[in-house]
Each structure stands twice: as structure tokens, then as C-alpha cells.
């Protein structure tokens, strides 16, 4: 579904991604691990097309189509969705307004869906509030997912959906991610693919993932079974990865 | 103070420039204009006039209004109240009818404040007198339209608004010019008297022409438990606009709120403020301004003066600069003169944050759509305590201006 080829990206003349290669097939979910500042968010933002992340070389293919030069909204309308790690607040624009926009832009607005989706993430009380303004950490995470429910994208990128989410909410978050990724179906019948960033890996207890990748200094240095990778990081730290590189 | 004294003071101030805002040569505007005949119903207005009136919230369909006042140039062509407990008439007429009105004349605004107040006294052309009798509560708003049809004319009105004890009065005032009028001067003195336990909401929408100069002069005296809510919207071009409405909370728990929405394009110069003297225990004030420039210059002022313990006040000003040219200058002032007061302000001026546009784009909006949603949200000031249809009028006026923002 998505293919990142030899991607090198800089922001304000600082190189944040170096020769990144990543392929995610339809039906698959990949976990992206890596220390703070290693470039995980940068990769997601480059895939969605934030212009500050300048592609120096390489390309991004979505369903076989080169999207490297498309605008953010063109990519969104093609079916790429993202839950941001730290989305901005927008004054006067209600969460409800955002849900309407998400649905409309994917060609299917149904008023009654708003409540149905909000129910799934227990976010009724945020619908009439300005988006992200004064939202708690956990509310932001759920509100990002709520927007994805409304958008129903094919390729779903989640930037730390489990950070700062309480034990009850993570249950809801896990359920919704499974729904978005059509986890109830068998892999080859799914029409979705996912890329999830996590640090602690809590989300792995709720969502089955196929593969994990570790990013270090802007490069994906290895991949493997996500739980094994997490276990290695837990026991040996990221130094272990560095050693492994040698 | 006798009316002779008042005129003397006005004469002395005839050449006194305003403390702020560009100075205007009053002689550049004519004070002569033909009289317009009275009409029975607003329906009888020509289509063109009706359309302009609607753009400032004044409806020819009178069903959801409790009274109407229409002044064209220097003639009051219609004034009537449709509901009992309300009085609507020309302020000159009211002055003849009620001796006691002298006690309200120039009591909330100083006649010698500047040459504009002086001119309103010396060359007054009516204005409205609106009054809610004690206990009268009328949900539907009174509407007043001040309309200018002659190029280069000065219109000097003096309005008096009285909400007697326990009454509730909602007013919508629209000021505009006939199509084809380019220049003019509008001086509007408005004095509000909000008695004990009374409430006045005042919504004013301006839709002037490119070269019109506007000098409203407003004062409000609010007694115990009185509420004065003032909403002002100016989204259309104007040459210069300068006003600094001032409210005096003289009674315990008096409550004042000013909401201001401004949009200045190239060639427009707006200097709009709000000032509240908090003079009695428990009085409160909140001033909220949203200003957008696309080439014009805006000064937005706010001034709270806390004079006794136990008062509260907050100023909030947000400005958005949408073009290379243009400026917004926010000047919030807080003056505390007693202990145990709570006054604060927040001001922010800048351009649209790129990250917000990108956020909306990630949900599928293109960059123009995203910009327009953000501007819509920016201008969406939460306006409490006014009837729904007035909220709609404000939204409508804002939206009409917004269309030209992009
Ligand atoms: N707008 C920016 N301006 C300057 N530097 C930036 C910008 N965005 C990211 N960076 C830098 O790029 C590097 C990678 O950042 P990125 O946000 O991709 O890290 P991350 O792996 O997501 O980290 P975390 O786990 O802390 O979220 C960091 O050193 C960061 O400071
Ligand atoms: Mg990150």
C-alpha cells in the first residue's frame, strides 16, 4: 500500500531522515520504535506531506502512485490519515466541525455518525469544544482517533496513540484502532494498512501488529517481531541497537 | 445644568480635536439636506434601501421586532413601538415631551469631550429615544436604522436609551449609506441608562462606504445588578472610524460586556476601544475584541479602571494580519485603584499559524478552505445572553464581510 524509497529529508537544513526504506502491504500493521528525536514523527509528517519536511531525495508511493509532490490535502483525500502526536488547537473550530470536515472530504457526511463515533471513544463532552483547546493529553489522543474514524482512511498513521492514555481509555483506543485497521478480517481481506509509533508498547497488548522497525538517527536500522524488539530495547536499551549495528 | 450652559460648553469645544484618531475638518461636510417624508411601514421603503437596511440587521418584516426607528439623513421617517412597555421616538421629540429628559441629556457622555460631541449638540439632527418602562421585558429587539443618502453630508445624531428598573431591552442598530454614496460624516452620541435590575443588549452593525468618517460617542451608566451588553460589528470599508465607548458601573454587581468584531481592508483606519469604570462592589466587565486586517490599520484599545475592592474585569484582544500591508495595534490597559480586585488581560496579534492550516489540510481541506475555516473560527466570538435571532444577525454580518476576506 505504501512504499518509502531511499527517503532523505531535512528540516531547516538539518537532516532528519537518511535513506529510509519502508514497505507496508495492504492488511499489514507496522510498529515504529526509536529513541526521542530519532525521526519517527518526521517520517509520518513527511508521508502526509508537511512542506517544512523537505524531501532531498527518494520518493513515496501510495498504491503505486508517486505522491512525493502532492499537497497534504491531496494525500488526505487519497486515503492517508494521521493521528498527530501534538496537534495544534484551533480557536472557534469545534471538534464536531472537524468531524464534519473529515466526513465531507471523504465524500460521506452523516450527522448521526458524529454521536456514534463519539460514543466509541467516550468523547461526547468534547464535541462542542474548540478542537484541542484545553484538551487533556488523553482527550487529544482520542480526539485524533475520532477524526480518523470520521475520515476512514486506508493508510493509517498513529503517532504515539498510547502515550498518556489511562488504563480504561486505552481499551477504547485499542478497539478503535482495530476497527480502523479492519483487524476483525483476515489479513488478505483487509483494505487497510497501519503504521504505529509507540515508546512503551502498551498498544501492543490491544492491537496485533505484524512487524516492528527501529529508527535511530533518522534511519531504520532493523526490523523484526515487534515484541522481541521491544523486549531487546527494554533489556539492553537503544545502545544494544547501536552495538548490533557494528 | 441648564441647556444654555450646555450650549456654552459645546461652543467652547467646537474646535477641540479628539484625544485620539485622525482629526476631521468638519467644514468639509455639509449640514444641509432635503427633508424626507414619513412612511407608515418599513415595507414601503424602496427595494434598494431595504436591502441596505437588511445588511445591517434592520428588517422590513416587522414581525420579529418590537419596534422600529428609521432616520434618513436628517429626517425621522418612521418611529413606532409594536409592544406595550416600550417607547420609540425621535430624541428631539422626546425632549419636548418629557421635561425630565434634561436630567439624562449629556450625563453619560460629556458635551465638551471633543468637537464631535460639540457638533452633536450644536447641530443635532435627531437620533432616537428608546425606553423600556419599569418591569417591561420584551424578547424581540427594537431596531433602529441610521441611513445616509447624500454624498458629503454630516449626520449628527443624539440617542438616549433608558431601561427602567427591572426592564429588559434588546436593541439592534444598523448604520449604513445608500448605494452610490461615497463620502460622509456620521457623529452618533449614544447615552445608555441601565437602571437597577435592568438589562440592555445593544447590537450595532456598521456598513459604511469607502470614504465615510465615523465618530460614535457612547456612554453607559449601569446601576445595581444592571447588565449592559454591547456588540459591535464593522466588517465593511470605512475611511476612519474612532470610538471609545465608556461604561460606568455605579451600582453593586453591575455587569458590562463589550464584544467587538472588526475587519479593515486597505484604506480603512479603525481605532476602536472600550472602557469600563468599575465603581461599585461586585461589578464586572469583560471586553472581547477580534480584529482582522487585510491592508487596513486597526488600533484596538481596552481600559479597565477598578476603583473599589471586590470588582472583576478581563480584556481579551486577538488580532489577525492577513496581508503584507496593514497593522493591528492592541493597547490593553488595566488600572487598579483598590486592593482585592481581579483584573487581567490577554492580547495576541499575528498571522494565521501555518500548523493550524496544515492540521485542517490533513483532514482533507485545501489551503484556502482551511484558511477560511480558521478565520470563521477566529471571528466566532461566543456572544451570550442575546436572543437567538440577534446572534444570527451578527453571524450574518460577519459572514458577509468574511466573503471578501479571502
Ligand atoms: N520543526 C523543526 N525544527 C527544527 N528541528 C526539528 C523540527 N521538527 C523536528 N526537528 C528535529 O528533528 C529530530 C527528529 O524529530 P522527531 O519529531 O521526528 O523525533 P521523534 O522520533 O518523533 O521523537 P519523539 O519520540 O520525542 O517524539 C529532532 O532532533 C527534532 O528536534
Ligand atoms: Mg515524535
Residue A42 sits in a domain of what CATH number?
A: 3.40.50.300
The pLDDT tens digits along chain A (246 residues) read: 999 999 999 999 999 999 999 999 999 999 999 999 999 999 999 999 999 999 999 999 999 999 999 999 999 999 999 999 999 999 999 999 999 999 998 878 888 899 999 999 999 999 999 999 999 999 999 999 999 999 999 999 999 999 999 988 999 999 999 999 999 999 889 999 999 999 988 999 999 999 999 999 999 998 899 999 999 888 888 877 776 665
Contacts of A85 in chain B (CB under 8 A): none
Number of other residues whose CB lies within 10 A of the CB of residue B81: 20
| Count of domains observed in chain A | 1
In a domain, A39, yes or no: yes
- Rounded to whole angstroms, how far apart are CA atoms B203 and B226? 17
- Rounded to whole angstroms, how far apart are CA atoms B197 and B320? 37
Q: Are B76 and B127 in contact (CB under 8 A)?
A: no
β-pairing verdict for A193-197 and A155-159: parallel
Q: What is the 3-state secondary structure (H, E, C) of A102-128?
A: HHHHCCCCCHHHHHHHHHHHCCHHHCC
Query: What φ, ψ does residue B132 adopt, rounded to 5°?
Result: -105, 125
- Rounded to whole angstroms, how far apart are CA atoms A26 and A192? 6
- Rounded to whole angstroms, how far apart are CA atoms A79 and B55? 42
Task: List all residues 6 or more positions away from B223 whose beta carbon is below 8 Å from its beta carbon.
Answer: B194, B195, B196, B198, B250, B251, B254
Q: Are B152 and B30 in contact (CB under 8 A)?
A: yes
Task: List all residues 6 or more positions away from A191 whose beta carbon is below 8 Å from its beta carbon.
Answer: A26, A154, A182
Mean pLDDT computed over B14-22: 95
- Rounded to whole angstroms, how far apart are CA atoms A35 and B362? 26
How far does residue A54's CA lie from ligand 1's centre (Å)? 14
In a domain, A99, yes or no: no
pLDDT, residue B139, reads 87
Joined grid coordinates for residue B271: 481605532
Compute chain B's Rg from CA coordinates.
20
Nearest CA distance, A173 vs chain B (angstrom): 20
Asked whether the predicted pLDDT for residue B60 surpasses 90, the reply is no
Q: pLDDT tier at B404 (50, 70, 90 boundaries)?
A: low
Angle, helices B115-122 vs B3-12, to 10°: value is 140
Q: Are A6 and A187 in contact (CB under 8 A)?
A: no
- The HSE-up count of residue B172 (CA atoms within 13 Å, CB side) is 29
Summarize chain B as % helix, strand, coil (round to 5): 20, 40, 40
Nearest CA in chain A to B357: A90
- Rounded to whole angstroms, how far apart are CA atoms B393 and B383? 12
Task: List all residues 6 or more positions away from B338 whose beta carbon is below 8 Å from its beta carbon.
Answer: B306, B307, B308, B309, B311
Nearest CA distance, A92 vs chain B (angstrom): 4
High-pLDDT (> 70) share of chain B, %:
99
Q: Which residues of B53-79 are buried (b: 16+ CB within 10 A; e: fewer)?
A: bbbbbbbbebeebbbbbbbbbbbbbbb
Nearest CA distance, B271 vs chain A (angstrom): 25
Q: Which of A232-236, B233-237, B324-328 has the lowest mean pLDDT?
A: A232-236
What are the residues facing B331 on neighbouring strands? Answer: B301
Q: Are B180 and B148 in contact (CB under 8 A)?
A: no
In a domain, A110, yes or no: no
Tell me, rounded to whole angstroms, the distance of Cα B21 from its chain centroid: 17
Tell me, rounded to whole angstroms, the distance of Cα B95 from its chain centroid: 23
pLDDT, residue B383, reads 79
Q: pLDDT tier at B292 (50, 70, 90 boundaries)?
A: very high
- Rounded to whole angstroms, how far apart are CA atoms A207 and B311? 55
Q: Which of A38, A82, A162 has most ligand 1 atoms within 8 Å of its beta carbon, as the pocket-test mutant?
A: A38
- Rounded to whole angstroms, how far apart are CA atoms B114 and B19? 8
Asked if A147 has any chain B CB less than 8 Å from its own CB, the reply is yes
- Rounded to whole angstroms, how far apart are CA atoms B142 and B69? 8
C-alpha dist (Å) from residue A184 to A31, A54, A142: 19, 37, 21
In a domain, A112, yes or no: no
Which protein residues touch ligand 1 with a CB less than 6 Å away? A 11-12, 14, 16, 34, 36-42, 52, 85
pLDDT, residue A246, reads 55
- Rounded to whole angstroms, how far apart are CA atoms B209 and A75? 44
- Rounded to whole angstroms, how far apart are CA atoms B366 and B131? 50
pLDDT, residue B301, reads 97
Q: What is the 3-state secondary structure (H, E, C) of chain A?
A: CEEEEEEEEEECCEEEEEEEEEEECCCCEEEEECCCCCCHHHHHHHHHCCCCCEEEEEEEEECCEECCCCCHHHHHHHCEEEECCCCCCCCCCEHHHHHHHHHHHCCCCCHHHHHHHHHHHCCHHHCCCECCCCCCHHHHHHHHHHHHHHHCCCEEEEECCCCCCCHHHHHHHHHHHHHHCCCCCCHHHCCCEEEEECCCCHHHHCCCCCEEEEEECCEEEEEECHHHHHHHHHHHHHHHHHHHHC
pLDDT, residue B406, reads 59
Best of A53, A74, A91, A106 to mutate (most B CBs within 10 Å, chain B): A91
User: Per the CB < 8 Å rule, is B362 touching A91?
Assistant: no
How far does residue A41's CA lie from ligand 2's centre (Å)? 4
Mean pLDDT computed over B243-251: 98
pLDDT in tens, B330-361: 999 999 999 999 999 999 999 999 999 999 99
Residue linked to cell 481579551? B316
Residues of B with CB under 8 A from a CB of A: 318, 353, 355-356, 358-367, 370, 373-374, 376-380
Atom number of ligand 1 nearest to Cα A35? 25
In a domain, A56, yes or no: yes
Nearest CA distance, A84 vs chain B (angstrom): 9
Atom number of ligand 1 nearest to Cα A85? 27
pLDDT, residue B1, reads 55
User: Per the CB < 8 Å rule, is A76 touching B364?
Assistant: yes
Owning domain of residue A41: 2-90+154-245
H helix count then E strand count, chain A: 7, 10
Tell me, rounded to whole angstroms, the distance of Cα B194 from its chain centroid: 16
Joined grid coordinates for residue B95: 425632549
Amino acid at each position: 500500500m505504501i512504499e518509502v524509497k531511499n527517503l532523505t529529508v531535512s528540516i531547516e537544513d538539518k537532516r532528519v531522515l537518511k535513506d529510509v526504506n519502508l514497505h507496508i502491504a495492504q492488511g499489514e500493521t507496522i510498529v515504529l520504535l526509536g529513541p526521542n528525536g530519532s525521526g519517527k514523527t518526521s517520517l509520518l509528517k513527511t508521508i502526509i506531506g508537511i512542506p517544512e519536511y523537505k524531501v532531498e531525495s527518494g520518493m513515496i508511493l501510495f498504491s503505486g502512485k508517486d505522491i512525493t509532490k502532492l499537497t497534504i490535502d491531496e494525500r488526505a483525500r487519497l486515503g492517508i490519515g494521521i493521528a498527530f502526536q501534538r496537534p495544534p488547537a484551533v480557536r472557534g473550530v469545534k471538534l464536531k466541525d472537524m468531524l464534519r470536515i473529515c466526513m465531507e472530504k471523504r465524500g460521506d457526511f452523516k450527522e448521526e455518525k458524529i454521536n456514534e463515533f463519539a460514543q466509541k471513544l467516550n468523547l461526547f463532552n468534547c464535541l462542542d469544544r474548540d478542537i484541542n483547546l484545553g484538551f487533556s493529553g488523553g482527550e487529544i489522543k482520542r480526539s485524533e482517533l475520532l477524526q480518523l474514524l470520521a475520515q476512514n482512511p486506508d493508510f493509517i498513521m498513529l503517532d504515539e496513540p498510547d502515550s498518556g492514555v489511562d488504563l480504561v481509555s486505552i481499551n477504547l483506543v485499542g478497539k478503535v484502532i482495530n476497527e480502523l485497521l479492519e483487524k476483525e478480517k483476515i489479513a488478505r481481506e483487509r483494505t487497510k494498512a497501519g503504521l504505529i509509533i509507540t515508546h512503551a508498547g502498551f498498544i501492543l497488548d490491544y492491537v496485533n501488529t505484524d512487524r516492528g522497525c527501529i529508527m535511530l538517527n533518522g534511519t531504520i536500522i532493523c526490523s523484526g517481531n515487534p515484541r522481541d524488539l521491544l523486549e531487546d530495547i527494554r533489556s539492553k536499551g537503544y545502545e544494544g541497537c547501536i552495538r548490533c549495528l557494528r | 445644568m441648564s441647556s444654555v450652559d450646555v450650549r456654552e460648553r459645546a461652543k467652547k469645544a467646537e474646535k477641540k480635536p479628539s484625544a485620539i484618531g485622525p482629526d476631521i475638518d468638519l467644514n468639509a461636510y455639509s449640514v444641509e439636506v432635503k427633508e424626507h417624508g414619513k412612511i407608515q411601514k418599513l415595507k414601503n421603503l424602496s427595494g434598494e434601501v431595504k436591502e441596505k437596511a437588511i445588511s445591517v440587521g434592520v428588517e422590513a418584516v416587522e414581525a420579529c421586532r418590537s419596534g422600529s426607528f428609521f432616520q434618513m439623513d436628517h429626517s425621522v421617517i418612521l418611529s413606532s413601538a409594536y409592544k406595550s412597555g416600550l417607547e420609540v421616538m425621535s430624541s428631539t421629540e422626546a425632549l419636548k415631551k418629557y421635561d425630565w429628559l434634561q436630567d439624562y441629556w449629556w450625563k453619560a457622555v460629556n458635551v465638551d469631550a471633543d468637537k464631535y460631541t460639540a457638533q452633536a449638540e450644536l447641530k443635532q439632527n435627531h437620533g432616537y429615544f428608546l425606553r423600556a418602562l419599569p418591569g417591561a421585558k420584551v424578547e424581540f429587539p427594537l431596531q433602529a436604522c441610521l441611513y445616509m443618502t447624500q454624498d458629503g453630508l454630516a449626520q449628527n445624531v443624539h440617542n438616549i436609551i433608558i431601561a427602567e428598573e427591572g426592564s429588559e431591552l434588546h436593541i439592534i442598530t444598523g448604520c449604513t449609506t445608500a448605494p452610490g454614496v461615497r463620502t460622509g460624516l456620521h457623529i452618533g452620541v449614544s447615552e445608555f441608562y441601565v437602571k437597577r435590575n435592568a438589562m440592555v443588549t445593544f447590537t450595532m452593525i456598521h456598513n459604511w462606504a469607502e470614504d465615510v468618517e465615523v465618530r460614535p460617542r457612547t456612554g453607559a451608566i449601569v446601576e445595581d445588578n444592571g447588565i449592559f451588553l454591547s456588540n459591535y460589528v464593522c466588517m465593511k470599508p470605512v475611511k476612519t472610524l474612532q470610538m471609545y465607548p465608556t461604561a460606568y458601573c455605579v451600582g453593586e454587581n453591575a455587569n458590562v460586556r463589550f464584544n467587538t468584531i472588526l475587519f479593515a481592508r486597505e484604506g480603512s483606519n479603525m481605532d476602536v476601544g472600550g472602557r469600563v469604570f468599575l465603581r461599585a462592589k461586585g461589578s464586572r466587565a469583560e471586553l472581547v475584541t477580534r480584529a482582522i486586517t487585510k491592508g487596513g490599520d486597526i488600533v484596538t484599545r481596552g481600559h479597565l479602571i477598578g476603583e473599589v475592592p471586590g470588582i472583576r474585569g478581563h480584556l481579551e484582544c486577538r488580532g489577525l494580519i492577513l496581508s503584507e500591508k496593514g497593522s493591528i495595534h492592541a493597547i490593553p490597559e488595566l488600572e487598579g485603584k483598590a486592593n482585592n480586585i481581579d483584573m487581567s488581560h490577554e492580547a495576541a496579534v499575528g498571522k494565521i499559524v501555518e500548523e493550524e492550516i496544515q492540521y485542517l489540510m490533513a483532514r482533507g481541506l485545501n489551503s484556502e478552505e482551511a484558511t477560511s475555516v480558521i478565520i470563521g473560527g477566529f471571528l466566532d466570538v461566543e456572544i451570550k445572553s442575546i436572543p437567538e435571532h440577534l446572534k444570527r444577525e451578527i453571524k450574518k454580518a460577519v459572514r458577509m464581510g468574511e466573503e471578501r476576506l479571502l
